Chain A
């Protein structure tokens, strides 16, 4: 059974940093693309970032480009999102999402974690 368990969310002040983690299990970690997708009541679902199976390709939404960095560690079967210069508009529930295949730019999202809540506020 595929499991994606996010952690690292919380309340943080604007301008500060936070690192989200996602522990993956139930599939061959190195074979699949992974993503971070966030959700807010007002803006719905927004793709944040994706990374290909071998970390060779990464992509970011314009809203986070230059501030967020996605990475993966095959030794720990984990996905990460390093978030710098956080803004109030980054407040959202962040989901760790598995791609259906190796390419983050083509293959759909087939499994989602339960999410970790990030609140950016002073």
Chain B
């Protein structure tokens, strides 16, 4: 049972815009910034969005992040087949004194 809650799956067609949500509480998302990672099968996770809405160098601007209260969202516009992956959210939890992750959302491009 993950501290951060994500839907297990999401889907979209090429070119579509999809949103993946991450829900937490006052001690984690409500207080600290959220990061997003994506993971393709057989590979390690990669940083996609950090500090709620910042993109590392090399990440296309089709990917964007936002946060409101104790929830965060990752939006992917202009969906492409290579976007198929599992997407995880993560943040620091002030009560647990640990990093916490969402369970991951598997994105399928139909």
Give A residues with C-beta under 8 Å from B. 35, 37, 44-47, 50, 59-62, 95, 100, 105-106, 108-115
A15 CA to B45 CA, complexed, in Å: 30
- The residue in chain B whose Cβ has the minimal distance to the Cβ of A50 is B99
- The residue in chain A whose Cβ has the minimal distance to the Cβ of B35 is A108
**Apart from A45-B88, A100-B50, A108-B51: 4 A-B pairs, beta carbons within 8 A:** A44-B101, A45-B101, A109-B37, A114-B44
In the complex, which residues of chain B have a beta carbon less than 8 angstroms from the beta carbon of A59?
97-98
B residues 8-43 near A (Cβ < 8 Å) are: 32, 35, 37, 43
Range for the number of chain B residues in contact with chain A: 20 to 34
In the complex, which residues of chain A have a beta carbon less than 8 angstroms from the beta carbon of B103?
44
Number of CB contacts from chain A to chain B under 8 A: 54
- The residue in chain B whose Cβ has the minimal distance to the Cβ of A106 is B92
- Shortest C-beta distance, A54 to chain B (Å), equals 19
- The residue in chain B whose Cβ has the minimal distance to the Cβ of A61 is B98
In the complex, which residues of chain A have a beta carbon less than 8 angstroms from the beta carbon of B56?
110
| A109-B35, A110-B56, A115-B44 as given contacts; A44 in contact with B104, CB under 8 Å | yes
Closest 5 pairs (CB-CB, A-B): A47-B99, A112-B44, A108-B35, A108-B50, A45-B101
Residue with the greatest number of chain B CB neighbours at <10 A, chosen from A37, A59, A61, A108: A108
A108 CA to B102 CA, complexed, in Å: 15
A15 CA to B47 CA, complexed, in Å: 35
A105 CA to B91 CA, complexed, in Å: 9
- Shortest C-beta distance, B93 to chain A (Å), equals 10
